[in-house]
Amino acid sequence: MASLVKSSGSFLVRPYESRDFQALRDMYLSFSPRGMFQGMPPPDDDACLRWIQGLLETGENFLAWREGSVVGHGVILPDLDKKDAEYLVFVSRGERGKGVGTALTRAVLDHAAGLGLESVWLTVGAYNMRAARLYRKFSFRFLEEPGAGSERTMVLTL
Amino acid sequence: MAETPKWYDAHLSEFGNTAYIRGLDQYSSMHRRSIDDPDGFWAEQARQYLSWDKEWDFVLDYDFEEGRIAWFGGGILNASANCLDRHLDRLGDKVAYFWEGDDPHDTRTVTFKDLYHQVNRFAAVLQKIGVRKSDRVIIYMPMIPELPVAMLSCARIGAVHSVVFGGFSAEALANRVKNCDAGVVITTDGGFRAGKKIPLKETVDQALKSCPDVGKVIVFDRAGLEPSMKPGRDIWWHEAVEDPDLPDRVDPEPMDAEDPLFILYTSGSTGAPKGLVHTHGGYLLYAAMTTRLVFDLKDDEVFWCTADIGWVTGHTYGVYGPLINGLTGVLFEGVPTYPDFDRYWDIVEKYRVNKFYTAPTVIRSLAKEGAGHVEKHDITSLKLLGSVGEPINPEAWRWYYRHVGRQWCPIMDTWWQTETGGHMLTPLPGVTPIKPGSCGLPFFGVDPVILDETGEEVRFPNQEGVLCIKRPWPGMARSVYGDHERFIETYFSQAPGMYFSGDGAKRDEDGYYWIIGRIDDVINVSGHRLGTAEIESALVLHDRVAEAAVVGFPHPVKGQGIYAFVTLNTGEAKSEDLKRELVGLVRKEIGPIATIDVVQWADALPKTRSGKIMRRILQKIAAGKTDELGDTSTIADPTVVEKLIAERVGV
């Protein structure tokens, strides 16, 4: 199996392992702004931890590390009946714009292809142009017409 | 039946000949120059509108990536001196404010000389209690002359004022006091509103229970309420200013153009309201210039901006803009509907108001009561009207134009924000025809662009997108108090090299701009911005509430109403009483402006597999557009949506 450890600049992307929980938790508890992305990450700490646990249990998770800290988290939540998966990615405030999101997305999508899925989709704030730019780089396309509301769906056919 | 005109130009025959800016050519060349040669253009304006103790070292220095903006760096001036001292010789006896109390018989006339004396006196009081340059002072007062006095007194000594709208609750006030580390609060015992006494000092006392660092509270006796006064902390305004040891004059503190002048809190998409910081030089210039040119104010005219000074509109067009220009304004303590629905027109007639600036929500609520109220009064002094706070729907615009404007007064429908300091997109009365619902053209120095969801400039007329501004203008906010990172993230991280306004817009085939509404989770209720996250945070404080999602929905008077979907903890009983409790809780946490219109119990919210909330589904349900939901395949449990539709609360 090809190595899933990808290194870019001075950060490292690899699949989540259970010993990583504390570091992942630390990233989210100090994450800012909370609740910005369709209510995620949940502003309440307890709800946030429950949410992280849910993602770890049901999804395929990847973490980006810099100097021993988790600076990004990418996850797909597959539905094997529908043969699709929801994708979401979060990058720490000070680490945005440095290629972390790109590296995580690449790692996650490579993995998705290996799971026999037909498509990956995500939702993004209607005018979160920075995020949409990242997703379009990976050929995600908007599903609906503009003006549909607060958030839009993007789909990538694998 | 005659077709409804799409544009109106009756005003051009006069304004086209008498306005400061006349005709499209003059506007275009001036606008062009302001963009191509900002240094030259703005240096000229700065000399024309303001008095400087020392001129600047540079006109403009900025880097949007760092959220760093500086205008007239090295220039020295003072806001108070620009509003007052420099007018004394020629305009000392000129009326600065016609003040009208809640009761029509309670009126005062305040001249520039009166204001000068009161400001100097109060500035001396502030100094005596230890307020120094750059200290933050919270002001929580009704619309009385002492409110601008308090602001200008702070500005005089270089203190940074933060005015909190009197309608905010004790919690909201406390949050602001703590956020800006204020050491002093200036307030009144109470205020009058529609014949009732509102006990403001009580709210301050409640707020300050959690603010031990506030050392002094100065209380102006407005309502004779005899509030409790905490020894050692609370002092009476009237006693403080009568201190015989106080000097009659306090020299205005020399301020650098980039020194903070005030902090004003405004709601955003996430978290608590942010304290936007405006500075002395650029803000004052922009306030002065837009006041003069957008309303085309002549020196002998009377201007009335109805906005409460607690909002930015009141700061710029109720205080700084008119006073810097040496103009006469109206200050009104009451509401448009007391004692009757003709109150505003009574005031217009009484003071012969020439230029009138108000909010669409006011127009809509007065239009509902009929034009008869307007017709009771002689409002022929009115030459120009203005609209601010939210886009105005064409029906309300036409009512305003026909019944208040007498089919002639041009309406300056201005788009701008707390962040922008002053008008950004606006008609100019001597320049073009006006279109109902359009905010016209960019003001000088404003370089707008509309970006689509991919971040590209829109290519066709009427294509919608988000409004961004390509370069700085003097009036823009410089930071979020104590959180510059948040300032950069909110305004400069989405569109690199540009200011991201958060407002959706389009430009028509004639180049006129039209504002569509917020593109984020901020709603506009009666012209006031509220973050849905703020309201949700308040709801979730209730121990029976597990989760809440709040969206705006179209409201015939308020523009947008507040619709809350609330999930209770398992086993909790749903009841109308609990709904009322929740509405009360939000009013307590934020204030009456955040009164929820509808609470719908939601056993679950529509979410994706990952837990992300699909707000657009909730927006459609709240708006009654349940057959326009669009794609719902992303929702993990589709029965959630069916149930929400079935249980939708009719409004």
Bridge partners for A52 per DSSP:
none
Nearest CA in chain A to B621: A149
Q: How confident is the model at residue A126 (pLDDT cuts 50, 70, 90)?
A: confident
Calpha distance B631→B614 (Å, rounded): 11
Does B519 contact A144 at a Cβ distance shorter than 8 Å? no
Q: In chain B, what are the domain boundaries?
A: 12-130+251-499, 523-646
Please state which CATH number belongs to domain B523-646.
3.30.300.30
pLDDT at A8 over 60: no
For residue A42, the chain B residues in CB contact (below 8 A) are 611
Rounded to the nearest 5 degrees, what angle is found at the Cα of B563, between the Cα atoms of B561 and B566? 160
Calpha distance A151→B644 (Å, rounded): 19
Of B453, B533, B619, the CB nearest to A152: B453
| Backbone φ, ψ for residue B583 (5° rounding) | -60, -45
Q: How confident is the model at residue A6 (pLDDT cuts 50, 70, 90)?
A: low
For residue B532, the chain A residues in CB contact (below 8 A) are none
Q: Do residues A82 and A117 lie in contact, with contact meaning Cβ atoms separated by under 8 Å?
A: no
Calpha distance B470→A135 (Å, rounded): 25
Percent of all residues in chain A with a pLDDT value above 90, rounded to a whole number: 70
Of B270, B451, B454, the CB nearest to A33: B270
Of B489, B494, B612, the CB nearest to A38: B612
pLDDT tens, position by position, A57-111: 999 999 999 999 999 999 999 998 899 999 999 999 889 889 999 999 999 999 9
Closest-CA distance of chain B to residue A8, Å: 23
Q: Tell me if chain A has a CB within 8 Å of the CB of B609.
A: yes
> How many CB contacts within 8 angstroms connect chain A with chain B?
109
Closest-CA distance of chain A to residue B582, Å: 19
Contact map slice: B 78-107 vs A, CB within 8 A: none
Cβ burial, residue B187 (10 Å; 0-12/13-18/19+): buried
What sign has the CA pseudo-torsion B316, B320, B322, B328? positive
Give the list of residues 6+ apart from residue B235 with CB closer than 8 angstroms, or none: B129, B216, B217, B218, B219, B229
Does B610 contact A55 at a Cβ distance shorter than 8 Å? yes
Contact map slice: A 58-97 vs B, CB within 8 A: 58-59, 75, 77, 79, 86, 88, 93, 96
Residue in B520, B612, B641 to test binding to A, most A beta-carbons within 10 Å: B612
| DSSP-based three-state secondary structure for B176 | helix
Residue A1 has what pLDDT?
35
**How far are the Cα atoms of B304, B433, B549, B610, B616 from residue A38, in angstroms, in the given order?**
41, 42, 10, 11, 10
Q: Going from the N-terminus, what domains does chain A have, and what CATH number goes with each?
A: 6-157 (3.40.630.30)
Residue in B503, B539, B609, B615 to test binding to A, most A beta-carbons within 10 Å: B609
Residue in B337, B280, B279, B256 with CA at minimum distance from that of residue B75: B256
Does A127 contact B612 at a Cβ distance shorter than 8 Å? no
For residue B464, the chain A residues in CB contact (below 8 A) are 146-147
Calpha distance B336→B356 (Å, rounded): 13
Q: What is the DSSP letter of B508?
A: -
Calpha distance B154→B134 (Å, rounded): 9
Q: Do residues B313 and B143 lie in contact, with contact meaning Cβ atoms separated by under 8 Å?
A: no
Q: Which two tokens stand for residue A56?
A: 């770890």
In which residue ranges of chain B is pLDDT below 50?
1
Residue A2 has what pLDDT?
38
Residue A37 has what pLDDT?
86
Contact map slice: A 95-114 vs B, CB within 8 A: 96
Does B609 contact A142 at a Cβ distance shorter than 8 Å? no
| DSSP-based three-state secondary structure for A134 | helix
Residue in B610, B619, B629, B632 to test binding to A, most A beta-carbons within 10 Å: B610
Top-level CATH class of B12-130+251-499? alpha beta
Calpha distance B553→B650 (Å, rounded): 12
pLDDT at A7 over 60: no
Q: Tell me if chain B has a CB within 8 Å of the CB of A118.
A: no
Closest-CA distance of chain A to residue B419, Å: 19
| DSSP-based three-state secondary structure for B627 | coil
Residue in B288, B252, B237, B245 with CA at minimum distance from that of residue B154: B252
Q: Do residues B462 and B438 lie in contact, with contact meaning Cβ atoms separated by under 8 Å?
A: no
Does A153 contact B634 at a Cβ distance shorter than 8 Å? yes
For residue B495, the chain A residues in CB contact (below 8 A) are 129
ipTM: 0.90
- pTM for this one? 0.94
Does B453 contact A142 at a Cβ distance shorter than 8 Å? yes
Contact map slice: B 428-457 vs A, CB within 8 A: 451-455
Does A33 contact B520 at a Cβ distance shorter than 8 Å? no
| DSSP-based three-state secondary structure for B428 | coil
Of A36, A37, A146, the CB nearest to B453: A146
Q: Do residues B485 and A93 lie in contact, with contact meaning Cβ atoms separated by under 8 Å?
A: yes
Chain centre distance of CA B370: 27
pLDDT tens, position by position, B454-507: 899 999 999 999 999 999 999 999 999 999 999 999 999 999 999 999 999 999
Residue in B143, B145, B185, B191 with CA at minimum distance from that of residue B161: B185
pLDDT at A3 over 50: no
Residue B432 has what pLDDT?
93
Q: Which two tokens stand for residue B396?
A: 């309300």
Residue B635 has what pLDDT?
92
Residue B403 has what pLDDT?
98
Chain centre distance of CA B156: 23
- How are the residues of chain A apportioned to helix, strand and coil, as percentages rounded to the nearest 5? 35, 35, 35
- Written as one letter, the residue type at B162 is S
Q: Do residues A155 and A140 lie in contact, with contact meaning Cβ atoms separated by under 8 Å?
A: yes
Chain centre distance of CA B167: 14
Cβ burial, residue B232 (10 Å; 0-12/13-18/19+): exposed
Closest-CA distance of chain A to residue B555, Å: 18
Does A126 contact B453 at a Cβ distance shorter than 8 Å? yes
